[in-house]
Amino acid sequence: MAFHHYQRPSFPDLLFLFYTEFHPSHGPYIVHSVPPLPPAPLPPPFPFSHASDYVIPRAPLRHRLLTLLLDRHLLMGVPCTIDSPRYARNALLFNLVFVFERGADVKGYRRLVRKAAAFLLTLEEEQGLLSREGGKEQLRVVMEQMYEDLNLHRECRVPLESGTTLNLKLFPSRPNPPPVHDHVVPVSVVDLVALSDHRWDMTMQRVMRHIDGISHVRRIAERAGVDPIKARSCIAHLLYYHCVTLIDAFQYSNIYTVALGIRELVANSDLQRACPSFVAKKDHPTLPIALLLALYASMHRGTNLQRWSEEYVSDLVHVDLRRFVLFGVSHGLIERVFEYPYVPPERRSQLTPILRDRVDGTIPYDALCALTRRSRADIHGVLARTTSSTVSLYF
């Protein structure tokens, strides 16, 4: 499984950025637009009159992030209001609106749009930027730099005359990673050495040095000399940014079965080229993809890796079994069948405290191995000798 370069997230381009206010006589109108809207009688790129009631909405929708679909465009903004007797009608209603193509994935912009609105709100309350003479011209300059920098660099830093600086940066919006347990093994899918920086958190740097695709999280924490909770947090952070993936600890007692992803090995030529070289032992010839496909397809429930490898020993002479399993699990060709020990409650009193509360059929052998630092065979032997009534559940 070769390293790939860390892929920076992509964000949709801004089509327009406009600032609008509520005029006491004429209602909502666009004060500034970047790029400028075409002059009348040319038609505008989007019918603002159809959206004005939502760009400057009624009180219940103010100070909320609103997204509006309008023809071929998507509008996003946070309408704001400031109540004060110094304004006409005792209030200033405004909105800085970001315009994208309809259908664009704008999740990454949500935090940025909220921050920009809060920034303008604070500047008006403290310095009167939006209402004092010359303030709106300064806002136009700020908007032009925001539009250009966000589209080119996905971030902007705009200094204002007052000494205040607007800092905006787009960050990807990803789902939370799955829980990281002590018994799972993190495998890097990018070059962590090339990606790391000496300015990173010291705990993260220490944890990353011990990610080798073999050690489980608890062992990594011990070798790095960090608290297991902090080690799990570091791994979760790397998992969130797709720098690692999680697999099960390699043991010959593991059971694997062919998965639906095996179809991908049949259809994907890139996968067919990568598989033979990855699973071959060093300085050994590669196997034909047809044989590797047959080996993956032969894995099934009821046969652990030890018995399976003995059955196909002649075909596996040139295969690194650990890398064979790693490639199969990472690409969804095979999947793990977990084994959960169960001991009837009346028999558990004879066990040590560390096992007594963990043999109710909900905790896999992998977790017990990581916790006790013993192999699956050792734990199974203890349960069999002590209770004489151990049942294994497979899922």
In tens digits, the chain (395 residues) has pLDDT values of 444 444 556 789 999 999 999 998 889 999 999 999 887 666 778 778 888 888 999 989 999 999 999 888 999 999 999 999 999 889 999 999 999 999 999 998 999 999 999 999 999 999 888 988 888 899 999 999 999 999 999 999 998 877 889 999 998 777 888 899 998 999 988 888 888 888 888 999 999 999 988 899 999 999 999 999 999 999 999 998 888 989 888 889 899 999 999 999 999 999 999 999 999 998 899 999 999 999 999 999 889 999 999 999 999 999 999 999 989 998 899 999 888 888 888 888 888 888 888 888 888 888 888 888 888 888 888 888 877 666 666 65
Q: Which residues contact 171 (CB under 8 A, 6 or more apart)?
A: 108, 111
Q: What is the pLDDT of residue 228?
A: 93
b/e map of 89-108 (b: 16 or more CB within 10 Å)?
eeebbbbbbbbbeeebebeb
Q: Say which residues have a Cβ less than 8 Å from residue 175's Cβ, sequence separation at least 6.
A: none
Pairing of strands 66-70, 73-77: antiparallel
CA–CA distances in Å: residue 349 to residues 115, 143, 299, 343, 359? 58, 70, 37, 10, 11
Q: List 161's β-bridge partners, or say none.
A: none
Record the tokens describing residue 24, joined without a space.
């006491």
Neighbours of 221 (CB within 10 A): 24
Bridge-partner residues for 255, per DSSP? 304, 337
CA distances from 138 to 32, 145, 197 (A): 11, 11, 38
* H or E segment to which residue 98 belongs: strand 91-101
Query: Are 391 and 365 contacting, i.e. CB atoms less than 8 angstroms apart?
Result: no
Q: In this structure, how many other beta carbons lie within 10 angstroms of the beta carbon of residue 330?
A: 17
pLDDT at 5: 43
pLDDT of residue 4: 45
Question: What is the C-alpha R_g of the chain?
Answer: 30
Rounded distance between C-alpha atoms, residue 82 and residue 63, angstroms:
10
Q: Which residues, listed in sequence order, are joined to residue 100 by a DSSP beta bridge?
A: 74
Angle made by CA atoms 63, 14, 158, in degrees to the nearest 5: 70
Model confidence pTM above 0.75: no
Domain extents in the chain: 16-169, 184-248, 255-336, 339-394
> Residue 296: what pLDDT?
95
Supply the pLDDT for residue 173.
74
* Cβ proximity of 251 and 376 under 8 Å: yes
**What pLDDT was estimated at residue 7?**
52
Q: Is there a contact between 393 and 340 (Cβ–Cβ < 8 Å)?
A: yes
Distance CA 299, CA 379 (A): 25
- How far lies 318's CA from each of 273, 275, 277, 292, 373, in Å? 17, 13, 11, 11, 31
